[in-house]
Each structure stands twice: as C-alpha cells, then as structure tokens.
Chains A and B, each alone.
Chain A
Amino acid sequence: MSQLLILPVILPAILAGAIILIARNTLNAQRAISILGTIALLALAITLIQAPTQSYFLGNWPAPFGIALVLDRLSALMLLLTATLALIVLIHTIRTGWDTKGRHFHALYLFQLMGLNGAFLTGDAFNLFVFFEVLLIASYGLMVHGGGEARIRAGVQYVAFNLLGSTLFLFALATIYSTTGTLNMADLAQKLPQIPANDTALIRVAAVLLMLVFAVKAALVPLQFWLPGTYANAPGPIAALFAVMTKVGAYALIRFGTLVFPTDLPATNTLLASLLYPAALATIAVGALGTFGTRSLPRQIAFAAIGSMGTLLLAVSAFTPQATAAALYYTLHSTLATAALFLIADLTRCRRDGMTAALYMAAAIAMAGMPPLSGFVGKLLILDALRGDAIAWAAILIASLLTMIGLARTGSDLFWKSPSTEAPAESKTAILLCLAALATLTIAAGPITSWLTLTAEALHAPTAYIAANHLGGTK
C-alpha cells in the first residue's frame, strides 16, 4: 500500500496551516511556500499518473468500514490537470499582484487545492461530500478576495446556491445509506444490483438527487444560474482556477454514472443518461446564446464555459467508452482554454495592445473549437463518438459558430475600438504557459487519446477499481 496517495490531500493542508501560523505577515514567504507546494503537487501528480490502480485506507480501517482513497487513471488525470492549472494560475496571481489585494490568499488557495485533490481521490461517497465542502468553503473566501460591493453580493448568491446543493447531497446520501447500508463507492457498485425490487424506487430518487447536486457543480441547465455572476465578479485568476471547479461536477457524474449507477443496473437503467442528454443540449444552447448576446468579456467567457460543459456532458451522457474518452479529452482542453481566456480578460482590464490581442485570438479559437488548437480535436472526437445523432451534431456545430461570432465581436470591440497601451506591461508568462499546454494537448493528441481510451475502458469495466478496495477483507 503506497503512502504517496495521501500526500496530494495532506501536503496542501499542512502548507496552508504553515502559512497562517508562521508566514502570516510576510508575503514573500507565503508566495514561496505556495509556489513550492504547487510544484510539489505537480511532481506528485506526474508520479501518480504512472502508478497502477491502488487504494489507501485512512487509519488502516478496511473498506467499507473506514474511508478509502482510491487512485485510478481518471483520478490521477484530474490530479495532474488540477496541479497544472494551479501552477499556471498561481504564477499569474503573483506576477500581477492579485495576492496583495487581500489577506490569506495563499492559505485559501492551498485549501482549495486540498479540497479538489481530495474530491478526485476519495472512494467514499460521504467523504466526497466532505471534500466538496472543503473546496467550497475555500472558494467562498477566494471568490470575494479583494472585496467590493458587486463581488460580495454575487458571493452571497454563490454561497446560498451551493449550500442548497450540499443539503440535497446529504438527502441523497442518507437515502442511499438507508437502502444499502454502505457509502463506499466500490461497495455500492457491488450491492446495488442485489437490492430488493421494492427498494429500487428509493435508489432512483437518490440517483436523481445526486445527479442534481453534480449538475449544480457542473452548471448544467437549469442549474447554471450561479455561474455567470460568480465567474464574472470573481477576481480574474480565481475565475481561471474555477474552470476546474465545474469539472469536479463532471468528474463526479462520470464516476457515479460508470461505477455506481451504470446503464446496466436494473434499478436505474438508462435513467441518468436520459435526463442528462436533454439537459446537456439545453446547456449548449444557453451557453452559445449567452456568449452571442453578452458584451462584457468576463461574463461572455462564463457563458462560453457553460457551453463547453454542455458539450462535455453531452458526450458523457452517451455512457460508451469511446464517448467517455472524448469527454475526458475535452475536459482537459476546456479547463485550460477557459482558464487562458479568463487570465487574458484579467490582463485586458488595464492593457489592450497587439500582443494581448494575439493571445486573445489564440485562446478564443481554442474555446470555439476551430483548428488548429485542441478545441477542434476535442469536438471532432465527441462528434465521432456521437455519430448518427443528428441533433447532437447540429447543436455542437451551431453552438461553435455562435461562440466564435460572439468572441470575435467582443475581441474587435475590445482591441480595435478602445486600444490602450498606457498601463505598465504586465506579465504574460502564465497565459503563454496555458497556451503552451493547449498546444501540447494538440500535438500529443494521438498518445493522449489512446491513453484516455484505456482510461475510459477501465471506467466502464471497473473491476480493478473495485478490487483495489479489498472489500473481502484481504489486503
């Protein structure tokens, strides 16, 4: 049993505590600790992505009685994505001085990473709730970082929406526990097919409640109302980091949809897929129309992010290995593309010169899904996986066109009608890194997709994941 598995959760928690205790008043020490911590997390993620599926039992209590952290390919992939994004966003924050606009930025940032890593690693449904709360409470602090009336008022909405989501999550978990007597995800996967027929209605209710909670996180229509206000009012780098928060919802939907409620489970059957499909189509439509109709750049990017979640979840709703692999590729792409756009939007607040315009064009092309960047590859993979589904094809293609027109119009307004080079040149390092990551994703699309195909096949036949929990009691 590898002890490395607990580090992505413990390390940021210890460092965040250290920042509050010993580096409270020295910004440079805070910056050093959080940069080094994020680099360590990236190194850890690179190590873990090569590791086989394995588990870590907290306090050495065997599953399903204790809490198990389970690492499989999907968890490792999400850890790597989080660490990469976290490092890029942190560099941008430090170079632009956002962390000087309020106290405790770095501690909250590390707690946020702890919550994200924990949510991706945990193999226990109740523990998933706890890590959701950890990442949310840190995100509340980060969202209102820097203060200001509009930001705090948008923050109150964001908190209230998510508290309601947490309540639904608890209702769902208690329903599942009362019917099956377990909350370990692998144990649920084994016990759910055997539940008596008169309990299946309860399981269906719980499955739909859980899906609602994850849909709130993933900003699925009609539960997307919190996202535009939150992302548009959050500090620029934080909005960029939040690009991975919606992916937590997508991750949970993929995990529960393939492991706990697979389409061949008699109790739920294709219930989740049939609910997810129309919701994803509506999300694509709302995202595209929002991008088309909004004039302010951060708000427009928020709608583009909603649209990309729709495309992503449309692929997820097919629940086939090929579509899941495409969805995973698109997850990587849309997180980095959304983050790049938010960082550029942050830059354009004070400086709009030729270089920024070029960066904006590259990121907008990636977001809209035009060649040559990875958005095109991602959408192509999804279209290929959904071959024969004319509605899905039409939705994705029309939405891409609307997104492109919307982003192009805002770009020309921003850079041609009101150019400004007066402000001191700010660092573009982080944005270049983000675009470089997108370019890598495009160039290495072949090896990455074949790796993701294996990941998706393992997700749809989760014997290794279940075996890693050692449910029989043998270790």
Chain B
Amino acid sequence: MEILIAIAIGTLTACGLYLMLRARTFPVILGLSLLSYAVNLFIFISGRIKLNAPPIIGEGSQYTDPLPQALVLTAIVISFGMTAVLVIMALGAYLTAGHDRVDTDADPEDQA
C-alpha cells in the first residue's frame, strides 16, 4: 500500500513538472493540476495509512488522524479555485494576444 501510494505521488509529480516546463499555457495548467493532485495525496497520507479505522478517538484503540483530512479538504478547495482563476486568465491572454505562448519575450519594452 505504501509503495503504491509513493509510486502514484512520484508519477503525478514527475508528469506535472514535465508539463509545467512546456511553452504553452494549456499544458502548464494541466501540469499544475497534476501537481496539486500529487500534493493532495501526499498531505492525505502524512497522517499515516490506517485501514478501517474511524477518525474519532473513543471506541477501540484504532483510530486514524483526522487533521490531514481537514488539511487536504482545504488544499483541494484552494487549488480548485486557483486553477479556475488561472484558466480564466489564460483564456483572457489567449483571446487578447491570439496565441497561448507562456513567454513574454515579445514585450515591446524589452526590444527598445
């Protein structure tokens, strides 16, 4: 189980980083989404993996840490909102500029 989750996080991070390095906004956004999936999984297992245990102290000695679950919910909400903002801004940039390259080398100020 640990190995499976570790491989999943590693693969997601590697794919996310690869896509982040592309020169178009759409792959960059996909890459950021993959990275946020990786980090969400990572936070989730930072409370250790426990199967069939409630997140409540009380009945029985087995319980799972509830805090990472709360943290991961917060992180999911924030990364969802941020991705939405980035998509809108990327769309705006695409519609005003007519292309979706990430670099801003074509700045008129730079060529002066």
Contacts and interface: CB of A to CB of B under 8 A. Distances in A.
Q: Is the interface of A mostly helix, strand, loop or mixed?
A: helix
B96 A152 contact: yes
Contact of B86 (A153, A160, A174, A175): A160
Q: Which 3 A-B pairs have the closest CB atoms?
A: A178-B46, A174-B46, A174-B43
A136 to B, nearest CB: 8
Interface string B82-112: 1101100110110011000010100111001
A170 B82 CA distance: 14
5 contacts: A136-B82, A153-B104, A163-B86, A171-B39, A178-B46
B104 A150 contact: yes
A94 interface: no
Nearest to A140: B85
Contacts of A155: 89, 93
Interface in B1-52: 20, 25, 28, 32, 35-36, 38-39, 42-43, 46-48
B71 interface: yes
A318 B51 CA distance: 47
Nearest to A298: B109
Contacts of B47: 177-178
A33 interface: no
Interface of B: 20, 25, 28, 32, 35-36, 38-39, 42-43, 46-48, 67-68, 71, 74-75, 78-79, 81-83, 85-86, 89-90, 92-93, 96-97, 102, 104, 107-109, 112
A148 B7 CA distance: 43
Given A156-B25, A178-B46, A130 B102 contact: no
A170 B32 contact: no
A163 B32 contact: yes
Contact of B89 (A156, A164, A171, A295): A156
A452 interface: no
Interface in A153-180: 153-157, 159-160, 163-164, 166-167, 170-171, 173-175, 177-178
B97 A153 contact: yes
A173 B74 CA distance: 13
Nearest to B40: A170
Given A137-B82, A137-B85, A177-B47, 19 more contacts: A137-B81, A144-B92, A147-B96, A149-B96, A149-B97, A152-B89, A153-B93, A153-B97, A156-B90, A163-B83, A164-B32, A167-B35, A171-B39, A174-B42, A174-B43, A174-B71, A177-B71, A178-B48, A232-B109
Interface in A121-138: 126, 130, 133, 136-137
Contact of B75 (A150, A164, A170, A299): A170
Given A232-B109, A295-B112, A156 B36 contact: no
B78 A133 contact: yes
A173 B47 CA distance: 12
Contacts of B85: 137, 140, 159
A62 interface: no
A140 B93 contact: no
Given A156-B89, A157-B104, A178-B47, A296 B109 contact: yes
A171 B46 CA distance: 10
A232 B108 CA distance: 12
Contacts of A130: 74, 78
